[in-house]
Structure 1
Amino acid sequence: MSFTRTLRAVGGTVVAGALFVGTAPVASADQTRTDQWPLGAASFNAEAIWQQSTGKGVTVAVIDSAVNGDHPDLKGNVLPGKDFVHGGPANDETSVDHGTSMASLIAAHGHGAGGKDGVKGLAPDAKILPLKIKGFEDEAGEGGDWADALRYAVDHNATVVNMSVDGLSMTPKRKEAIAYAVAHDVLIVASSGNEAKGKVAVPASEPGVIAVGAVDKTGKVWEDSNFGSQLMLTAPGVYIRSAAASKPYRLANGTSDATAYVSASAALLRAKFPDLTAGQIANRLVKTAGLPPSEKNAHLPDAHYGFGFIRPLRALTANIPAGSKNGPMKAPAAGSATSTGPDSSGAPGNDGQQASKQQNSGLSPVAIVGIAVGVLVVVAIIVIVVVRQKKNDRNGPPPGGFGGPGGPGFAPQQPGPYQQPGPYQQPGPYQQQPGGPGAYPPVPPTQPPGR
């Protein structure tokens, strides 16, 4: 199993230049904070963002490796979470860096006087729910499926889920978990992958998930960022400074980091606009996204940029109609969200749920009585007809006359207003036709050729 772990660490001084043309001032007291160039980028302007929202009151689930909740830049912002591989909490990681890095880009608060030292996340007052799954270290243990972690996140009040993972095959269980999250108004953000492939990785490619690619300081797509028709947004993912578990900090490239920035932006929006649905939050991100000048004529969504790179300050301040409930999000398969969480009485295989299905398809006592009465009436009519026919046979006209062999008999019946011609009934006006408007799955729109 392959994961988008931004393990392509890079060293040296951060390259000169500015993301999306121009930088905004950002308070800094040490080199680590200075290295966090996205916070000072013109499209972010973190100091202005934090005047609008800090993500307070929002829980972001990080489905990843475990997180070092004792890191000085994260302490107090990391909940116990759950280790789905070995059991126990997932806030005590000391060796695998990835989950801690993602958590810090979302909700680190820095340290020192005024929190000006170390790493600061884009949503510094959000809470992180760490959920450890398989694939980041050993493969031992019975659990570790991200479907279980996703359901746990929904059932434990996370409204944004960060999945900086890829290369995972889809199963019915995993599709149902995504549908369950969407049905409960949880926004899922996932990385497109780091293989420079024209194919968005799973689960980012699934309906109901925001797929994220990476861009550099100039707004150009990172050379190893996966692309494709499902890509929705891009975000900073090159020369990204973040906290770590095995060491204080790390510097890396990857769509994982970009995904964390989108999740943080969603947390900011969910804190400021608590009445908006997950789809409407995505709508604000999409409607305020930007493109570099070289892409100003691109047909959106573009295979490499999606709708563009995020501009969280604009997303927080622009006057944008709420729009439809789902916004730009495609709905998961119909019916896959009917199963509920592990703590619900309607869990998969639950007797109450099965009984409900059977009750809906059975016959009520009143219907049974009605059928019985109808049968008796039909039998009585048949008896009367037979008796009269025998009487007519004794007293009626000779063969060949009216009513007998050779007579006019009954003419062939024509289809009535509620009867369709032919041996099989055709789809009626209230029956959805396959491939018709609203039928699932929808036909994806034509995408422009990749570059």
Structure 2
Amino acid sequence: MRVTRTLRATAGAALTGALLLAASGTASADQVRVDQWPLQAFGAEQLWKQATGKGVKVAVLDSGFRETHQDLTGQFLAGPDFAKSTMAAASEHLKPNEDIRDHGTAMASIIAGHGHGPGGSKGIKGLAPDAKILPVPEYKNSGQATRWAVDHGADVINMSYGENIKAGDMCESIHYAVEKGVVVVAAAGNDGWSQKSYPVGCPGAIGVGAVDEYGASSDANNYNSDMDLLAPGKQIPSAMGKSDSDYKTSKGSSASSAYVSAAAALLKEKFPDLTPGQIANRLVKTAGLSQAEKGKNLKLPDEHYGWGYIQPGPALRKDIPAGPAAGPLAMPKGKAPQQAVVPGADKGQDPDPPMGAKDKLMLYGGIGVGVLLVVGVVITVMAIVRRRREMAASRSWG
């Protein structure tokens, strides 16, 4: 039974450091709405009676964005200036005929596309069509990008990328975001391995893998304890960056993360006082499994399935106690550092602060004292050596 029916009843390997969505075909604007099976599966028309993401800001950390795409006009807020000169860093991962803005445009459309044509009936409609996108084309420096997004009002942060190392203050910045009440969603990755990766491996990030329309977890999903939830990630139409009317049908945990970010935006609109952990709690408590997975008697969370696939309808409608602020997922401990962590430096410390007059006086004074001490030691050693030589000479000649 398809997951679309289940949901209604209840309401390519990525390169290390690369964005986690692989294109698998083209689609015309006339096809994409019909092909958006996740909207049908989620019962989007009914969902939007509960929430549309209005008033919610979703920061998308990605490679770039085509802000003039016909399905996204007016959906973008102002992004950071610091990222404009670094977009070329993502170009190393591009395939022939790809545009550097493809991936970010795709994620933004899945989250907050409004379609086009009469009543927005054509093209991509996002799961949270009234949310606004904070475009942050700086995923390579996700610590800086995350802090910028938090400080500029993000309610949700979408991270559809991954690396096999923790870079800079990636995890510290996610800690900072969660502490400020921001929901952070990250892609599990499409390598089909159990190796740990980041930012999904950072405490506080909701790890997301791909599921198809039958509710089956993708074989390409990375699997380990960082897998929290599944969401649509196969045969997903999305807007692309080459032109204002460009589309592709794609697959991967990137798209899955975007759907979870959109679901979080719906929940943030309806339940603005919930913490990131409590938002995650609603998604976890209403997650589903296909009949095939239910028959396996899985012990949840499972490294392949997490808690199951998201069901935004029940998450919005059900009477679920808020629960502890931290929620059911791994959350960072203690207080987050308030600025970037530089490798080799103490957290929160400037490794090369400007030197004032007093500092200079202390430095040069210290150098002077040190020189005098060294000279004194040298003179003392020379005197001792000379005395020993004299004593030795007197003994040998006597």
What pairs up with 1:154-169 in 2 under 5 angstroms?
Answer: 154-169=150-165
Deviations 1:312-362 (A, max 9, x none): 011000110000101013222434x132589xxxx93379xxxxxxxxxxx
What is the CA–CA distance in structure 1 between the aligned matches of 2:258 and 2:68, rounded to whole Å?
A: 20
The residue that corresponds to 1:263 in the other structure is: 261
Separation in structure 1 between the aligned mates of residue 143 and residue 265 of structure 2, nearest angstrom: 22
Alignment correspondent of 1:308 = 308
SS in 1 for 2:21: coil
Question: 1:75 corresponds to which residue?
Answer: 73
Q: Which amino acid aligns with 1:169?
A: I
Give yes or no for contact 2:165–2:197 (8 Å, CA) kept in 1: no
Cα deviation digits, residues 199-228 of structure 1 (max 9, x gap): 353111111110000010100011211111
1:65 Cα offset (Å): 1.1
**Is the Cα–Cα contact under 8 Å of residues 207 and 330 in structure 1 kept in the other structure?**
yes
What is the distance in 1 between the residues matched to 2:324 and 2:53?
Answer: 23
Check whether the contact 1:4–1:194 (CA below 8 A) recurs between aligned residues. Answer: no
Question: Please, what is the CA RMSD of the aligned residues?
Answer: 2.5
Which among 250, 253, 266 is matched to residue 251 of structure 2?
253
The answer for the alignment partner of 2:32 in structure 1 is: 32
Q: Does 1:208 align with 2:213?
A: no
Question: SS of the residue aligned with 1:202?
Answer: coil
C-alpha displacement of 1:79? 1.1
User: Does the aligned pair in 2 maintain the 1:10–1:253 contact within 8 Å?
Assistant: no
Q: Tell me how far apart the structure 1 counterparts of residues 198 and 100 of structure 2 sit (CA, whole Å).
A: 26
1:225 equivalenced with 2:240 (yes/no): no
Partner of 2:280: 282
- Picking from 248, 265, 270, the partner of 1:272 is 270
Indicate the residue corresponding to 2:138 in structure 1: 133
CA 1:303 to 1:89, structure 2 compared with 1: closer, same or farther past 3 Å? closer
**What amino acid does structure 2 have at the position aligned with 1:57?**
G
Tell me the SS of whatever aligns to 2:267.
helix
Structure with the bigger RCO (C-alpha within 8 Å, sep 6+) is: 2
| Matched residue type, 2:311 | R
The DSSP-based 3-state class of the residue aligned with 1:52 is coil
Please tell me whether residue 4 in structure 1 is matched to residue 8 in structure 2.
no
* Cα distance in structure 2, aligned partners of 1:167 and 1:35: 31
The aligned amino acid for 2:176 is Y
4+ residue runs over 3 A deviation? 10-13, 83-90, 347-351
* Partners of 2:87 and 2:75 in 1: CA distance: 15
2: CA distance between counterparts of 1:127 and 1:298? 37
Whether 1:328 aligns to 2:328 is yes
Query: Could you say which structure has the higher helix fraction?
Result: 2
Matches within 5 A, 1:429-448: none
Tell me what 1:339 maps to: 338
- The structure that has the greater radius of gyration is 1
- Give the number of aligned pairs: 318
Aligned to 1:51: 49
Label 1:155 to 1:38 Cα distance change in 2 as closer, same or farther (>3 A): same
In structure 2, how many angstroms separate the alpha carbons of the residues matched to 1:36 and 1:330? 32
Alpha-carbon deviation of 1:2? 2.4
Q: Is the 8 A contact 1:192 1:231 kept in 2?
A: yes
Residue ranges of structure 1 left out of the alignment (5+ in a row) = 14-28, 135-143, 352-451
Within a 5 Å distance, the mapping from 1:285-300 to structure 2 comes to: 285-296=283-294, 297-300=297-300
CA change 1:113–1:88 in 2 (3 A) is farther
Alpha-carbon distance between aligned partners in 2 of 1:172 and 1:109, rounded to the nearest angstrom: 36
Identity among equivalent pairs (%): 49
Relative to the length of structure 1, the TM-score reads 0.67
The offset of 1:30, in angstroms, is 3.2
Within the candidate set 229, 239, 242, 1:243 is matched to: 239
Task: Answer yes or no: is 1:191 the counterpart of 2:153.
Answer: no
1:324 is aligned with what amino acid?
P
